[in-house]
Structure 1
Amino acid sequence: MTAIAVTIAGTDPTAGAGIQADLKTFSALGVYGATVMTALVAQNTTGVQGVHDVPAEFVRAQMRSVFTDLDVDAVKIGMLSRPETIRAVADGLAEFAARNIVLDPVMVAQSGDPLITPEAVATLRDTLLPMAMVITPNLPEAARLLDADPAGDEHAMLEQGRRLLDLGPEAVVIKGGHGTGAESVDLLVTQDEVVRLAAERIATRNTHGTGCTLSSAIAAGLATGAPLASAVRAAKDYLTAALAAADDLRIGHGQGPVHHFHALWPNLPGEKR
């Protein structure tokens, strides 16, 4: 059987983040990707120029198209900018008994531009977090969901991860990419265990789409039947390698994308890739 994952998120016309990055990740990891677009985002490597929200009823229509035809093994959820969009997605997930839900609570673009309205944060927290197998907030996102200051060390990360568990998800991956130090440390927190996931912090400006890539890589692993901890570890390894190869690409004039196809594209010295 073909493993299938669907991404429910906004777009990126330069294909470094959003639905396009999710599809690249699914493909690189051997999973068939489907899409439900929640917003058309005018953005590039330098920032966000505009957001055009898809009407909530049309989000529902896309979900019906996907779930009534495809046997979806995992769901990745990204940018949901408005309360009515969040409620539409929650209704669709319940209607079709969606499983292996990975929620990336996207709030701010890599450039710092906001991607969610303030009133949508509470709706996201109260409606979708309890439906998720795992949520993947970075430090600022975790802090905003909890109305707290960003964690400054691993002890604070763990404490916030446990507080986020109380909001209903089965697991939390709190990401330390916004931290400092030689290692980039993420924590997988469940009711039963805490798994520390550390990797060398990669010195590159090409970090556009890292959150989208990690969450969609986790969804890809779950779609293939991997246990959660294994899917998270494999996703961390994949993103680390994609970051390490990011400078092989020369894309845009700002924060370029990670190299989703680092293991597949030929490495030809001296050629523009």
Structure 2
Amino acid sequence: MALSPKILIVAGTDPTGGAGIVRDIETASHFSVKVGLAVTSVNIQNDLHVEAKLPMYGDFIRGQMLAALEADSISAIKVGMTGTPEIVHAICGVLAEFPDIPVILDPVIRASSGGVLADDMTVAAIKQDLLQYCYLTTPNLQELAALTDHGLAKDHAHAIMQAKALVEAGSKFVLAKGGHETGKLATDSLVSSDSIRDFSIPRLNATMRGTGCTLSTAIACEMAKGKTIEQAVGTAKAYVFELLRMQPVAV
């Protein structure tokens, strides 16, 4: 019997389970993928606000990551909330030691409730240091704007231009997500230095916290199974669509 693949999740907590590591674990379980964990920050938050954050020390995060990487074969690494420049640098130090493991970055900057989870110095560290280790980065429109120092994309073509800037900054692929845009179709574009691949599904009148966590972790799981980046994105997007389809209709 084939061994189940395993991914390493590096992210923060959400006591409600609506986002963060709990959502990541639920997603990995759906895809029958095992997980190792490195907690970056313990947070007090809910659907309405972020009350407090307790970031971990960089050495503590490095220790967690190395413990997971040395214990088992890790097939992909998903990085979510970082929280401080020190944490970003600690993560980069570990990733540099394991260059053959694909890294999927969900650059968590703000919570769905609006609370700031990464300040300007942390965003700068992500762009300057972390992107170069990333196989795929999956920013939403607000994160694209923050990471490129530009305003919010005016349309999807503008979002693709911003995604190209992140490719130039180091990420091999960037998924420009269209979930917060308008129109009948929700289109995500997988951007690299020499190609653009669109993934479109009908737009649903529904919302759910943690879709960014779910999508990026689902991609990591599929890549851990040996799927191509295109296959992984397609499967992950279809999974998020089904989760949204089961949500109450937004009014």
TM range (shorter): over 0.9
2:102 aligned with 1:100, yes or no? yes
Distance 2:248 2:34 in 1: 27
Distance 1:103 1:201 in 2: 24
Distance 2:22 2:101 in 1: 22
Counterpart residue number, 1:271:
none
Counterpart residue number, 1:65:
67
- Residues 75 and 98 of structure 1 are in contact (CA less than 8 Å); yes or no, is this contact kept in structure 2? no
Counterpart residue number, 1:246:
247
Distance 1:23 1:166 in 2: 31
Q: How does 1:132-171 map onto structure 2 within 5 Å?
A: 132-171=134-173
Distance 1:101 1:221 in 2: 13
Distance 2:134 2:216 in 1: 12
Distance 1:138 1:31 in 2: 25
- Residues 4 and 32 of structure 2 are in contact (CA less than 8 Å); yes or no, is this contact kept in structure 1? no
- Residues 22 and 216 of structure 1 are in contact (CA less than 8 Å); yes or no, is this contact kept in structure 2? yes
Which blocks of at least 5 consecutive residues in structure 2 are unaligned?
A: none
Q: Secondary structure at the match of 1:41?
A: strand
Distance 1:247 1:7 in 2: 29
Counterpart residue number, 1:54:
56
Shift of 1:202: 1.6
2:217 aligned with 1:213, yes or no? no
Task: Output the amino acid matched with 2:212.
Answer: G
Shift of 1:98: 5.2
- Residues 74 and 98 of structure 1 are in contact (CA less than 8 Å); yes or no, is this contact kept in structure 2? no
Counterpart residue number, 1:259:
none
- Residues 177 and 184 of structure 1 are in contact (CA less than 8 Å); yes or no, is this contact kept in structure 2? yes
Which blocks of at least 5 consecutive residues in structure 1 are unaligned?
A: 249-254, 256-273
Distance 1:41 1:6 in 2: 20
Counterpart residue number, 1:182:
184
TM-score by length of 1: 0.88
Percent identity over the alignment is: 35
Q: How does 1:1-273 map onto structure 2 within 5 Å?
A: 1-97=3-99, 99-205=101-207, 207-247=208-248
- Residues 99 and 133 of structure 2 are in contact (CA less than 8 Å); yes or no, is this contact kept in structure 1? no
- Residues 168 and 193 of structure 2 are in contact (CA less than 8 Å); yes or no, is this contact kept in structure 1? no
TM-score by length of 2: 0.95
Distance 1:89 1:175 in 2: 25
Task: Output the amino acid matched with 2:21.
Answer: I
Number of matched pairs? 248
